[in-house]
A and B are shown apart, each in its own frame.
Chain A
Amino acid sequence: MGALLTAEDVRHLRTGAHFLACTIDPTAIYVYAEMIEKAMENRALELISIDELAPDDLVVAIGMVTQGLFIADMPPVGDEFIGCIRAIEANLGRQVRAIYSLAAANINGIVPLMVGLQSSLPVIDSDPMGRVFPLISQTTLNIGHVPISPIALMGVTGERAVVEAHNPQRAETLVRALVTEMGGWAATAMYPCSAGQMREHGVHGSISRMIRIGEILDAETSVDRKFQQLAEFLGATRIARARVSHVEGLSRPSDLGLPALPSSVTLVDERSGQIIRLEIQNEILLVLVDGAIAAAVPDIVSLLNSEHGTVVNIDDVRVGDVIDVLKITAAAQWYSKAGLDLAEPKAFGIPIEHPRRHHA
């Protein structure tokens, strides 16, 4: 029997999902959290462990795929994800038993809760990223050779599509093209697989982790206490506490296929004199301290306001702000050779190998 989530859990989940992504625009997370809280007044939301399912049970990933359009600018009608689940069931001729998040951060960390409430399907406390990546092919299920398709999509205007492509990179290209045509975002259901496959290849405890992070960050405690708790819970390390000295936004185009918003932030640690540089494409991909790599994707890098211990949106970073730059190690699968092939800086067009590449 899984755990029933409370409204407070959802509020903490919102903070946790925000922290792990340092998202550019957290509005959609807040909108969804609010909707979930309202819906929970009449219904219970069940979070289950993957171990509670039979190995053959069909489970499916739920997530938004965006291509330029902010979800908050054109909110979904509400039936999109249910439509996608039905399309998967129709395609496979089997019933979906439970759903899971496509990512463990940002909007896709919270959307499945709403879908769970709508569909009465339990939500699994697992995901295939353990963080958020911009590409749907960047999953631990892909590392484990679990097929990505069929992929069901439903766009801004209610248009639907089902993509069947065995190669995850090819599926990515097709889905990106469809999403652009559909208007900028699409609700999707993908990676339909057995609970056994998910148990073997997924990252587990994702949602409860986000809730715990939210508990830490939402608490009325000092910044240092929050950091200490994050360090204990996540093994987080503080790369620097530094003042923003320069912001370069949208200064150069990204490669095709990468839904990126490239920008750079330079900070100066006024105590040590170190110069810190953040390279950003949707998420923070690279941190250089005096030109040396201090963190690189798939490491998770997050920013906290040094005064309040609140999450800093990448878009809100201003020259003069003093920010804590934190590094959190991603799920172990990402540091394998196959994992780094999919998600190290080179996969984002940055010609740098992850420092752990030689140990993979």
Chain B
Amino acid sequence: MRRSKSENHLDVAGLLAHGSLRGTTPLYLTPSSAAIDGVVLVSQLDAIQRVRPNTVIVLSAEMGSGGWLVSAALRHAWERKASAVVVAGSTYSSAVIGLAERLGITLLAAEGDTSGIALALAAEIGAALSVVDAELARFARAVAKDTTLGAVLKTISRELDGVEILLEYDGVSLASAGTPTREAAEIITVDVRGSNSSVPSRLTARVPRSGVHNLQLVRSILEVATPSVNAAWLLGDVLDTARAVPTAALVGLNHDPGSSWTTFVERHRHLLFQLGWRGEEQYVAVWIRRASLEAHRPELTAVLRLLWRKVTVRSPLAEVHGGWLALVPVGYQEAADQLEARIRVRLGKSLEELGLGAGLSRWREEPAALPNIVRESRLAAESALSTGPGTVAGFANLDVAAAATFVDEDSVLLVAELTLPLLMASPDRDLVIAAAGAFLDHHGSVSLAASSLDLHRNTLQTRLNRARELGVPLDIPAKLLSVHLILSTLRRSIHNKTSTANPGQTRKDSHEFPVRKL
């Protein structure tokens, strides 16, 4: 659209010099020439309050030419960011002209009927717009030929001289094209796929302010491109869904975790062949998991598939029960490490904003049973989410602490209610649990535990004695493992409940033992 951006741009100075405003007399001209996108002939003052920016306001002859009327018209024109005000030729006081100067609005006087000026200007704007429309139609034809989202975004960017074009969902950048600008930019945004989702995705152009782009035209280009963006996105999603069928189907096949890949292949040979899985290839499974099933947003699959392209385009992402799964062929350990790093770098922030976590299975030299690596990735994802959204965890890096992730918290809490009733009913429960938990974390060292809680040793000792009073068996070695597990679960439960509040804590220089009111 190079031609339209420059040659079809109308402005006051240009039209005064050799256009439809040539016959008017400038009463006041602003230092910089305002752009002209439209013209209105108004016969009522109120009509000015509805005009769009960059409009030339022509006051009709029947409005009269009273100075107050021009004053009020100038004011309205200023409020609406009009390009200029054209009034019938008359003797205007210096005060009216002074007001035009004060408000920074070009004021022109026309000899005779002002409607002639309005008509000539409308024709000139119409001619310019028809050129723009032809350019938009050419662009629409060009962008309609693109079948992939990347190609559509590139075509848009190319049309706008390489400005950065982004497709975003809920603040997450899904795809982009063009060169990011470092200078101040105007952000032009249009919604896409708005009807399918509670959170609309947005197509955004970041237009450098120093450029020559007509922002209205940029918006028109984005609007014209929107159907192509939707179509390409939808097509990509449909193709990915089809390609992801073997992955999704794999999750549904029965497999004994203890049995080998060979046994599994023998049992499902025909189906595996049909699905295209080959026994001799090594894979790493990647599981993306959301924090809760209730938070499911149907459009997330399409969004994640676009994000997944930043990691790999060959292994499709399948929507499965409890998350999304991809099986990536990986031939050696370094490639598996690179895959994990790539997911962390390219998806980590987006996963965090979407409230998701990702887990990867181990890479093995020998081909492993696919259901086994799927299970590993799911457990790793579950463990990653317990650390926080955005975490990417490899199953190989899980330590024994990960076991706590899979403990049934509700059952442990029930056991605690049954076996430690005094503790559970105590108003200072949270402080005692924190103190006893830290004590066990540090192998029975009061000094280290007090330091970790930022408490005085004596304060911690007081709280440990309080724990013993409440029936916590801190001194029976055979029960310590169970007690530690219960206390860890209780701490996690307290942390989840009070994550927004700051529980009352005593400083290490204080000997007080505050009682928390429940």
A residues contacting B by CB (< 8 A) are 245-246, 248, 252, 264, 266, 268, 273, 275, 277, 279, 286, 288, 290-293, 350-353
Q: Does B67 contact A (CB under 8 A)?
A: yes
User: Is B102 part of the contact surface with A, judged by Cβ < 8 Å?
Assistant: yes
Q: A246, B99: Cβ atoms under 8 Å?
A: no
B67 / chain A contacts, CB cutoff of 8 Å: 248, 264, 266, 277
Residues in B neighbouring A246, C-beta threshold 8 A: 93-95
A351-B99 in contact (CB<8A): no
Contacts of B94 in A (CB 8 A): 245-246
CB-CB under 8 A from B99, the residues of chain A are 275, 290-291
Q: Which of A266, A273, A292, A352 contacts B95 (CB 8 A)?
A: A266
Query: How many angstroms from the CA of A264 to the CA of B71 in the assembled complex?
Result: 12
Bound complex: CA of A279 vs CA of B71, how far in Å? 11
Q: B44 near A: Cβ within 8 Å? A: yes
* Contact call A291/B103, Cβ cutoff below 8 A: yes
B466 at the interface (CB under 8 A from A): no
Additional 7 contacts, C-beta under 8 A, given A268-B95, A351-B63: A246-B95, A252-B64, A264-B68, A275-B71, A279-B68, A291-B75, A291-B103
CB-based contact A290/B102 at 8 Å: yes
- Given the interface contacts A245-B95, A246-B94, does A288 sit within 8 Å of B75 by beta carbon? yes
Q: Is the CB of B102 within 8 A of A275?
A: yes
Could you give 16 example pairs across A and B, Cβ below 8 Å?
Answer: A246-B95, A264-B66, A264-B67, A266-B93, A275-B102, A288-B68, A288-B72, A290-B75, A290-B99, A291-B99, A291-B103, A293-B72, A351-B44, A351-B63, A352-B45, A352-B72
Give the nearest-CB partner of B70 in chain A: A291
Q: Chain A residues near B365 (CB, 8 Å)? A: none
Question: Which residues of A are found within 8 Å of B95, using beta-carbon distances?
Answer: 245-246, 266, 268, 275, 277
The tally of residues in B whose CB lies under 8 Å from a CB in A reads: 22
Residues of the B chain whose Cβ atoms lie less than 8 Å from the Cβ of A292: 72, 75
CB of B60, distance to nearest CB on chain A (Å): 12
Interface of A is mostly: strand
Would you give the shortest CB distance from B291 to chain A, in whole angstroms?
A: 49
- Contacts of B54-84 to chain A: CB distance below 8 A: 63-64, 66-68, 71-76, 78
The 0/1 profile, CB within 8 Å of A marked 1, for residues 31-59 of chain B is: 00000000000001110000000000000
Is the pair B68, A275 in contact by a Cβ cutoff of 8 Å?
no
The reply to whether the CB of B421 lies closer than 8 angstroms to some CB of chain A is no
- Residue of A277, A286, A353 ringed by the most chain B CB atoms within 10 A: A277
| Interchain residue pairs A-B with the least CB separation, the first 7 | A291-B75, A266-B95, A291-B71, A275-B99, A246-B93, A279-B68, A246-B95
Q: Indicate the member of B45, B46, B64, B66 with the most A CB atoms within 10 Å.
A: B66
Residue of B nearest to A276 (CB): B95
Q: With A246-B93, A252-B66, A266-B93 given, is the CB distance from A273 to B71 under 8 Å?
A: no
Q: Are A286 and B68 in contact (CB under 8 A)?
A: yes
CA distance A210 to B43 in the complex (A): 41
Are A350 and B93 also in contact (CB < 8 A) when A290-B102, A292-B75 are?
no
- Chain A nearest CB, measured from B72 CB (Å): 5
Q: Cβ of B76: which chain A residues have Cβ within 8 Å of it?
A: 291
Which chain B residues (65-121) contact chain A, with CB distance < 8 Å?
A: 66-68, 71-76, 78, 93-95, 98-99, 102-103
Task: Return B296 CB to nearest CB of chain A, in Å.
Answer: 46
* Secondary structure type dominating chain B contacts: helix
User: Residues of B at under 8 Å CB distance from A?
Assistant: 44-46, 63-64, 66-68, 71-76, 78, 93-95, 98-99, 102-103
Distance in Å: Cβ of A255 to nearest Cβ of chain B: 12
Question: Is the pair A248, B93 in contact by a Cβ cutoff of 8 Å?
Answer: yes
Q: Residues of A contacting B44 with CB < 8 Å?
A: 351
CB distance from A45 to the nearest CB of B (A): 42
Closest beta carbon of chain A to B70's beta carbon, Å: 8
A305 to chain B, nearest CB (A): 21
- When C-beta atoms are compared, the residue in chain A nearest to B95 turns out to be A266
List chain B residues, Cβ under 8 A from A252: 64, 66
In the complex, what residue of chain A is closest to B63 when comparing beta carbons? A351
Whether A290 contacts B103 by the Cβ 8 Å rule is: yes
User: What CA separation (Å) do A353 and B71 show in the bound complex?
Assistant: 16
Q: Closest CB of chain B to A153's CB: distance in Å?
A: 34
Using CB atoms, name the residue of chain B closest to A252: B66
The answer to whether B103 touches A350 (Cβ under 8 A) is no
CA distance A244 to B340 in the complex (A): 78
- Cβ-closest chain B residue relative to A266: B95
Closest to A287 in B: B68
Which of B64, B71, B74, B76 gathers the greatest number of chain A CB atoms within 10 Å?
Answer: B71
Contact residues in B for A248 (Cβ distance below 8 Å):
67, 93
Q: Tell me which of A273, A286, A288, A353 contacts B102 (CB under 8 A).
A: A273
Q: How far is the CA of A268 from the CA of B78 in the complex (A)?
A: 19
Shortest beta-carbon distance from B274 to chain A in Å: 72
In the bound complex, do residue A351 and residue B45 qualify as a contact, i.e. CB atoms below 8 Å apart? yes
Closest to B77 in A: A291
Q: How far is the CA of A309 from the CA of B163 in the complex (A)?
A: 64
How many whole Å from A346's CB to the nearest CB in chain B?
11
Residues of A within 8 A of B72 (CB): 288, 291-293, 352
A246-B94, A290-B99 are known contacts. Are A277 and B46 too (CB-CB below 8 A)?
A: no
Q: How far is the CA of A293 from the CA of B45 in the complex (A)?
A: 12
User: How far is A266 from B64 in the complex, measured between Cα atoms in Å?
Assistant: 18
The CA-CA distance from A351 to B47 in the complex, in Å, is 11
- Separation of A96 and B76 alpha carbons in the complex (Å): 52
Interface centre among A268, A275, A286, A350, by most chain B C-beta atoms within 10 angstroms, is A275
CB distance from A357 to the nearest CB of B (A): 11
Measured CA separation A269–B477 after assembly (Å) = 89
Q: Which of A277, A291, A292: most chain B CB closer than 10 A?
A: A291
Chain A's closest residue to B46 (CB) is A353
Compute how far the CA of A37 lies from the CA of B78 in the bound complex, rounded to whole angstroms: 54
Chain A residues in 8 Å Cβ range of B71: 275, 277, 288, 291
Taking the closest CB of chain A, its distance from the CB of B99, in whole angstroms, is 5
Residue from B46, B63, B78, B93 in contact with A291 in the complex, judged by beta carbons closer than 8 Å: B78
Residues of A within 8 A of B103 (CB): 290-291
Of residues B68, B93, B98, which shows the largest number of chain A Cβ atoms within 10 Å of its Cβ?
A: B68
In the complex, which residues of chain A have a beta carbon less than 8 angstroms from the beta carbon of B64?
252
With A and B bound together, what is the CA distance between A245 and B95 in angstroms?
Answer: 7
A245 to B93, CA, bound (A): 10
CB contact under 8 A between A350 and B68, given known A288-B75, A291-B76, A291-B103: yes
